[in-house]
Structure 1
Amino acid sequence: MFDFCSLKLKEVFEKNHEKRVDFGLKIMREYYDFLPFIKEYNKAYLERELALVKNE
């Protein structure tokens, strides 16, 4: 009985762990897909801020 329960718990844990890992990888992939856009936005933002400072 105990062995069966521990095996079942282990199986459930492994399934949930795989789901969490897949979800984490999916989020990371989406973040890295957007990374170039984020970098370009930050660059444009910093250039705009620098121009405002120079004009003051």
Structure 2
Amino acid sequence: MKHQYRFDSCGCYLDPGEGLLCDECRYRVRSRIKKMDNYNLAFRESQDGQYQMKLQEVM
């Protein structure tokens, strides 16, 4: 029996109760969100209105 649930983005076959994302795609989304959070933490506004970036937090 062939599965009807195929994820368009990566081509993985999903179980009916698995949801909308496969495990690999879910991991990629979480790592992308974590990376964006790190970027957002690296930029800060100083008292004089200038933005500062801490490179240690990005890497």
Under a length normalisation based on structure 2, what TM-score does the superposition of the two structures give? Answer: 0.45
Under a length normalisation based on structure 1, what TM-score does the superposition of the two structures give? Answer: 0.47
Greater relative contact order: 1 or 2 (C-alpha under 8 angstroms, separation 6 or more)? Answer: 2
Q: Which has the higher helix share?
A: 1
Q: Which has the higher strand share?
A: 2
Larger radius of gyration: 1
